[in-house]
Structure 1
Amino acid sequence: MENSYAAVASEKEDDQLLEILGEHAAYEPEAILALIAEIEKRNLQAPDLEQIKQETLQALQQRELQLNPEPAGPTSFADKFKDFWTLFVPQRHYFVTPILVNINIVIFVLLVLTGMHVLSPEGEDLLNAGSNYGPYTLTGEPWRLFTAMFLHIGIIHLLVNMYALASIGGALEPLVGRKQFITAYVLCGLAGSLASLWWDQQRNGAGASGAIFGMFGMFMTMVLLERRMTWAEKKGMVYNMLGVIALNLVFGLQGGIDNAAHTGGLVLGIAYGAVLMLRSGRYFTQQYNLRGSIVTVALLLVAFVGLYLQIPTENAKYLTMLDRFGERETAAMDVMKEMELDATLINGGKYLPGLEQGITLWDESIKELIALQELPDLGEQQAKEVEILLNYTQLRKTSYQMMRDDIQSNQPWMHSKQQQVLWAISTYVQELNDLRGGEEPEPTASENEIPVRMEVDDLEKLDPDAKPLFVIDGEPLEQMNPDDVEKIIHPDDIASVTVLKGKEAVALYGEQARNGVVLITKKKE
């Protein structure tokens, strides 16, 4: 083979030799070495001749090592330690990979130092660090598609991924060069994040797995398409890659592992590897036309943006609303907890700022829930939950307005009308729990029940007879105001309280239970 290359080179004119040398990346290393030997023989002046010669020799040596790896002999502990540390040190043909490994490790260490658990990080810590969570990523934070690639869910996750990255990076980066390696890594990571979003918007995703799977797929594709090696030379590497990929995908079928991200990165890695092979004429090379690289990356990024914009966002907006609703509800209920603990001071005015803040928070939730109702593709159960939450929130706002007005007028706030409002609120809480538990919720509306959209002034029009039926240890009492029940049974003597409503209440206790039933069980003496 070498003699044939030398014979061909000897027949070329001087200018032809120099022209071929300028395009050395497109030819086999043996051909270029024969060409250089002919140029040196003729004493021709060629720019960068020695550098091209050294690069060609290194490429030839790298290929030989991949095809015929030398058996590792026994090494000392010092040698093994030295070899281990080289995984983290950038070198000429292993430059980007250790930098990526180091970045992932440093980020993990910094997060642990700020309080993240080293083995099982909390979801909130990952969210704060930039994990890929649909309700956030799809509602104004698309940068999480990128940052999630550098976060890991515990040290085991980190070590496994970094070992895989160092392994594939050590084989692939010398073949395609630094620029193509880092470009492919980022693109495959983004593809994995997007695939994860399409599959499960409620997953809190993090990790470099999508990018790493892409590197494995890219390497396997490039080996398959490379024209210089025979199948006998390729099949060992191809079967090895297929085994690694299949094993990890099967392992990923277990719960908690983001196989969608793995698959997304793998598919893009296979496609990107095929594109690189076609661009190079199906040879391994580090030299790629800059314009072609820019066009390839631009097209992929446009495709990513298109896919991102096509992801249905109704569920993400719903989940985001639930998070915000929970935060507002917690803040708004703080003043209620204080009032319950220190009821003697409720008319002192100290709670007015808290009530005003609560009214504002409930009002913000009402506006957001109304906007959510207008989404065209909201699921049936989600729409029902939004409706119940809206009714609940409007009553909470009414309750707070009543408390504020009572305190301002130096009146007791826990009167019968307030108790009716709180009882109506409890029915919506129960209805929501039934719905989420898979039960068909009973309707809460009745002709005498508190109107959901009622303003404070409308409370004066309430039917004073609209009271629930109280049943103590199975014995129905006459309908009465809730505050009168304390005259019959002391709160400390109550073991449990159950609220029945709608058809269930009427079926058990007749028409007198049309406004609901409060079942009270006494503590056993």
Structure 2
Amino acid sequence: MENGYAAVASEKEDEQLLKILGEHAAYEPEAILAVIAEIERRNIQAPNLEQIKQDTLQALQQREQQLNPEPTGPTSLTDKFKDFWTFFVPQRHYFVTPILVNINIVIFVLLLLAGVHVLSPEGEDLVNAGANFGPYTLTGEPWRLFTSMFLHIGIIHLLVNMYALASIGGALEPLVGRKQFVTAYVLCGLAGSLASLWWDQQRISAGASGAIFGMFGMFMTMVLLERRMTWAEKKGMVYNMLGVIALNLVFGLKGGIDNAAHTGGLVLGIAYGAVLMLRSGRYFTQDYNLRGSIVTAALLLGAFVGLYLQIPTENAKYLTMLDRFGERETKAMDVMKEMELDATLINGGKYLPGLEQGIALWDESIQELTALQELPGLGEQQAKEVEILLNYTQLRKTSYTMMRDDIQKNQPWMHKQQQRVLLAIGTFVKDLNDLREGKPTTAHENLNEMPLPEALEEATGLKLETKPLIVLDGEALEGIAPDEIEDYVASEEIEEVSVLKGEEAIAKYGEKAQNGVIEIISKQK
């Protein structure tokens, strides 16, 4: 038989030829046929030679049928059912592909059993399952680059990808073998994940699309470079691959599709296919030197690590900080909400554990915000937001520390100093909201210029529109409107403000105090 391996086979020793024949399953069919021809030419006695020859010819015929399938007539439902199940059953030249398909399906089913929505999973569920998400992937969880390849955003996404994987795997795996196929699949998937992360750190990315696009690119490149096939034999497959790739990329422009992952996987697949063809002398083969394969994979993984380390992380760290800050703030504020409902605080000691926990949580946020403030790559608005949050958090810690100390000393906690701290906290909350709405952030700078009604609301937490009872120097000012308070006292004349709520307010002032009491003591008093 005349093929690209005949010259190589003719240079082998008898023992080498017999060794290759004994490991025939690991080699490309043309190579084995060349070895068999050389063995027959030398009249070497080889066990099972005829059987191996028939198996190899059959494998070659199956591959040719996959590359150039003949049109078939209608089949029965039973045959169609059997054909369908072959997608999921590992076979000699279709082994890795069904395993990958099955892994993806099993993971999807497990997530469904865990409560994830079948059509439109929540972003939080995907992130918890291991999706690629910049704020997490870039801050200590790089494994998401790999795990995201086996997650899918709904059953439609899964079905489309698995059909594409089975189709391309059925054509490509017999040509390159199991090891090269699974290596290329993982590398292309990682390339897609990296490209997605580089392009948009705030996108939740999941799916096998990057890896599958890589397989399409790899197959197209290998067909183009293969030296024995004519252009007439190649062009149908090449045009088909180009059409599939172009259609998917154009479809991805409509939004919601991670084209960056598609492109990253595609580019790596094209490059990897070219490398394989150069290594084989531009022939389809499953016989690749193990050392060369390890070196190729190691170089690519090293490049991936370098690219990962070059991705700017400031924005990811900032987003992660916001997420953690929100969780800590929610936990820390629980005790404050309970204390506001309990106006008497007769048994204030029960709040001490909550205050201690709150102080620790505010401390954690202060440390993280301080470290984030030192990052050189933060944007102007992000840096300003970090500054405001840091001031806010430091004041919250001060407020909690004072409350803890006051309760331990069995004395009122809503005193003049506490009110000033709470008022300052309110100004930084306003500054943060103004910053996010694109407004000037001057609330804390204009604290002393704040209208008295607004200042009282900030300091006491009582809305004046609910008409709490205002008591000035022991005298109840009943029925006054919020904007009339300054007719009785100016803000600079106030010495102390205290608040009474619930039963405590009613016990002291009667039913007229059912909406709470704001007690004001002036400097004149």
Q: Tell me the TM-score normalised to structure 1 length.
A: 0.81
Residue pair 1:192, 1:265 contacting (<8 A) in 2 also:
yes
| Residue 42 of structure 1, CA deviation | 6.2
Amino acid at match of 2:315: N
| Matched-pair identity in % | 81
Give the Cα–Cα distance (whole angstroms) in 1 for the partners of residues 244 and 281 of structure 2. 28
| Residue 63 of structure 1, CA deviation | 4.3
Give the Cα–Cα distance (whole angstroms) in 2 for the partners of residues 28 and 132 of structure 1. 37
| Residue 298 of structure 1, CA deviation | 0.9
Corresponding residue of 2:436: 436
Change (3 A) 1:309 1:406: same
Amino acid at match of 2:366: I
Structure 2 residue matching 1:377: 3-state secondary structure: coil
Corresponding residue of 1:278: 278
Matches of residues 174-323 of structure 1 in structure 2 within 5 Å?
A: 174-323=174-323
Residue pair 1:132, 1:205 contacting (<8 A) in 2 also:
yes
Give the Cα–Cα distance (whole angstroms) in 1 for the partners of residues 363 and 10 of structure 2. 85
Amino acid at match of 1:100: L
Corresponding residue of 1:44: 44
Structure 2 residue matching 1:375: 3-state secondary structure: coil
Residue pair 1:185, 1:214 contacting (<8 A) in 2 also:
yes
Corresponding residue of 1:135: 135
Alignment deviations for residues 288-340 of structure 1 (CA, whole Å, 9 cap, x no partner):
11111011011111111111111111111111111111111111011012112
Corresponding residue of 2:119: 119
Change (3 A) 1:23 1:233: farther
Change (3 A) 1:484 1:369: closer
Please say which of residues 13-22 and 431-440 is displaced more in the overlay: 13-22
Residue pair 1:434, 1:441 contacting (<8 A) in 2 also:
yes
Corresponding residue of 2:471: none
Corresponding residue of 1:146: 146
| Residue 423 of structure 1, CA deviation | 2.1
Amino acid at match of 1:175: L
| Residue 14 of structure 1, CA deviation | 10
Corresponding residue of 2:169: 169
Alignment deviations for residues 448-497 of structure 1 (CA, whole Å, 9 cap, x no partner):
699xxxxxxxxxxxxxxxxxxxx95655623356548999x978599xxx
Corresponding residue of 1:462: none
Alignment deviations for residues 85-127 of structure 1 (CA, whole Å, 9 cap, x no partner):
1111111111000100111111111111122222222222222
Give the Cα–Cα distance (whole angstroms) in 2 for the partners of residues 97 and 109 of structure 1. 19
Alignment deviations for residues 47-86 of structure 1 (CA, whole Å, 9 cap, x no partner):
7744652454135313431453111211111111111111
Amino acid at match of 1:351: Y
Residue pair 1:195, 1:260 contacting (<8 A) in 2 also:
yes
Amino acid at match of 2:296: T
| Residue 30 of structure 1, CA deviation | 7.0
Structure 1 residue matching 2:398: 3-state secondary structure: helix
Alignment deviations for residues 173-206 of structure 1 (CA, whole Å, 9 cap, x no partner):
1111000000000001111111111111111211
Residue pair 1:223, 1:238 contacting (<8 A) in 2 also:
yes
Structure 1 residue matching 2:349: 3-state secondary structure: coil
Give the Cα–Cα distance (whole angstroms) in 1 for the partners of residues 164 and 243 of structure 2. 14
Amino acid at match of 2:101: V
Corresponding residue of 1:410: 410
Give the Cα–Cα distance (whole angstroms) in 2 for the partners of residues 491 and 266 of structure 1. 69
Question: Where does structure 1 lack aligned partners over 5 or more consecutive residues?
Answer: 451-470, 495-525
CA RMSD of aligned residues (A): 3.4
Amino acid at match of 1:265: G
Change (3 A) 1:316 1:37: closer
Residue pair 2:430, 2:443 contacting (<8 A) in 1 also:
no
Give the Cα–Cα distance (whole angstroms) in 2 for the partners of residues 14 and 147 of structure 1. 46
Alignment deviations for residues 226-273 of structure 1 (CA, whole Å, 9 cap, x no partner):
111111111111111111111111111222221111111111000000
Give the Cα–Cα distance (whole angstroms) in 2 for the partners of residues 338 and 195 of structure 1. 47
Give the Cα–Cα distance (whole angstroms) in 1 for the partners of residues 348 and 12 of structure 2. 100
Corresponding residue of 2:463: none
Change (3 A) 1:312 1:215: same
Change (3 A) 1:433 1:52: farther
Amino acid at match of 1:212: I
Corresponding residue of 1:160: 160
Structure 2 residue matching 1:62: 3-state secondary structure: helix
Change (3 A) 1:68 1:361: closer
Amino acid at match of 2:212: I
Amino acid at match of 1:397: K
Residue pair 1:148, 1:205 contacting (<8 A) in 2 also:
yes
Please say which of residues 63-72 and 42-51 is displaced more in the overlay: 42-51
Give the Cα–Cα distance (whole angstroms) in 1 for the partners of residues 183 and 395 of structure 2. 54
Amino acid at match of 1:217: G
Residue pair 1:347, 1:407 contacting (<8 A) in 2 also:
no
| Residue 447 of structure 1, CA deviation | 8.4
Matches of residues 70-81 of structure 1 in structure 2 within 5 Å?
A: 70-81=70-81
Residue pair 2:332, 2:354 contacting (<8 A) in 1 also:
yes
Give the Cα–Cα distance (whole angstroms) in 2 for the partners of residues 37 and 333 of structure 1. 82
| Residue 416 of structure 1, CA deviation | 3.7
Question: Where does structure 2 lack aligned partners over 5 or more consecutive residues?
Answer: 451-479, 502-508, 518-525
Give the Cα–Cα distance (whole angstroms) in 2 for the partners of residues 485 and 13 of structure 1. 102
Give the Cα–Cα distance (whole angstroms) in 2 for the partners of residues 9 and 369 of structure 1. 69
Change (3 A) 1:233 1:447: closer
Structure 2 residue matching 1:253: 3-state secondary structure: helix
| Residue 13 of structure 1, CA deviation | 8.0
Amino acid at match of 2:382: Q
Give the Cα–Cα distance (whole angstroms) in 2 for the partners of residues 100 and 485 of structure 1. 66
Give the Cα–Cα distance (whole angstroms) in 2 for the partners of residues 346 and 384 of structure 1. 41
Give the Cα–Cα distance (whole angstroms) in 2 for the partners of residues 379 and 59 of structure 1. 60
Corresponding residue of 1:517: none
Residue pair 1:194, 1:261 contacting (<8 A) in 2 also:
yes
Corresponding residue of 1:361: 361
Residue pair 1:347, 1:412 contacting (<8 A) in 2 also:
no
Give the Cα–Cα distance (whole angstroms) in 2 for the partners of residues 30 and 408 of structure 1. 87
Alignment deviations for residues 362-407 of structure 1 (CA, whole Å, 9 cap, x no partner):
1111111111111111111111010000010011111111211222
Amino acid at match of 2:216: F
